[in-house]
Amino acid sequence: MNLKGRSFLTLKDFTSEEIGYLLELAADLKDKKKHGITGNSLKGKNIALIFEKPSTRTRCSFTVGCVDEGGYPEYLGTNDIQLGHKESVEDTARVLGRMFDGIQFRGFKQETVEKLAKYSKVPVWNGLTDEYHPTQILADFLTLKEQFGKLEGLKLVFVGDGRNNMANSLMIGASKLGIDFTILAPEALWPSNELVAQCKEYALQWNSKITVTKDLLAVKDADAIYTDVWCSMGEEDKAAERIAMLKPYQVNKELFEMTGKESTVLLHCLPAVKGYEVTEELFEKFADVIFDEAENRMHTIKAVMVATLGN
């Protein structure tokens, strides 16, 4: 499958087959790395890593993934370039596109990563925006595949802030890969009607279901429960309000027992605020799965770079 020259901005832009291909490539690259085999697919390639928001997994994954494949990554923080301040995003994109072969952006506005892709003329990868977090979804799905041997037919429930970038992106990805997906959240934190409708359209092709509800009983029969921090970056001033609103939706032993299954696993994109969205007891019970998921950020991000830019 040829994805050369493509940007990776949202899973909306990729077919089920293309997402599946990226997951297979990631699994292959992971296996090779475990056996001490790295590549040179990115030899001679220079990668710009733009970060408006700090990161552990995204920065390390792009850096290690790039180096593993023979490329050179350059970190560009908010104080390193003039992006959107003294220079427009459009002009910064045109400059970086002349000097780098690919650009990663992690920041606030989806509009910024879209402009970078439009004006740079090189592949641009979304490392997170306020709307979407597509590279995380690949890591999540690779982890689910490792746990269950399949994706189609699984039931995945996201519990927490149902309109954040993780809930949005999981819904898009699940609807394209035949996963029954539920967002469990208070009504004030439900995703947009437009995105739900769009994902239901995708799901029709796979005979899967998309559900948005505030009923805790929705976790019944879940194969995996997913949670995330209650306050995304940039929303710290809403912490008290969110805690009050989401306390009933904490992922804890009682909620897990409501699944009625012994095989249910917990996923978390990290960092976790234990004692809030998830209890420490439950987090530690599933730590091996959660940190497999964290490691899989590197393998899936490497796959995206190799597929869209590599030789």
One-letter amino acid for residue 275 of the chain: G
Known catalytic residue at 199: no
297 annotated ligand-binding residue:
yes
- Residue 228 annotated as binding site: yes
Q: Known binder of ligand: residue 223?
A: no
Catalytic residue among 180, 199, 228, 299: 228
Q: Is 165 annotated as a binding residue?
A: yes
Q: Of the listed 66, 199, 231, 269, which one is catalytic?
A: 269
Query: Which is the catalytic residue, given 66, 136, 223, 242?
Result: 136
Residue 278 and residue 192: Cα distance in Å, rounded? 25
Q: How many CB atoms lie within 10 A of CB 163?
A: 17
The reply, when asked if residue 250 is annotated as ligand binding, is no
- Of the candidates 50, 48, 104, the one whose C-alpha atom is nearest the C-alpha of residue 79 is 50
Question: Does the annotation place 58 within a ligand binding site?
Answer: yes
Nearest Cα to Cα of residue 88 among 49, 116, 51: 116
| Catalytic residue from among 6, 59, 106, 242 | 106
Residue 230 exposure: Cα atoms within 13 Å on the Cβ side: 23
106 labelled catalytic: yes
| Dist. CA 172–CA 19, nearest whole Å | 11
Catalytic-labelled residue, pool 59, 133, 242, 268: 133
The answer to whether 133 is a known catalytic residue is yes
Q: Is 6 a catalytic residue?
A: no
The answer to whether 106 is a known ligand-binding residue is: yes
269 marked among binding-site residues = yes
Check whether 248 is labelled as a binding-site residue. no
Residue 233 is labelled as binding a ligand:
yes
Is 66 a catalytic site residue? no
In terms of Cα–Cα distance, which of 216, 302, 208, 307 is closest to 258? 216
Catalytic, 268? Answer no
User: In the structure encoding, which two tokens stand for residue 112, read together?
Assistant: 């910024």
* 98 annotated as belonging to a binding site for a ligand: no
Q: How far apart are CA 266 and CA 264, in angstroms?
A: 7
Instruction: Decide: 161 and 133 in contact? Cβ < 8 Å.
Output: no
Annotated binding site for carbamoyl phosphate: 55-58, 82, 106, 133-136, 269-270, 297
Annotated binding site for L-ornithine: 165, 228, 232-233
Residues assigned a catalytic role: 106, 133, 136, 228, 269, 297
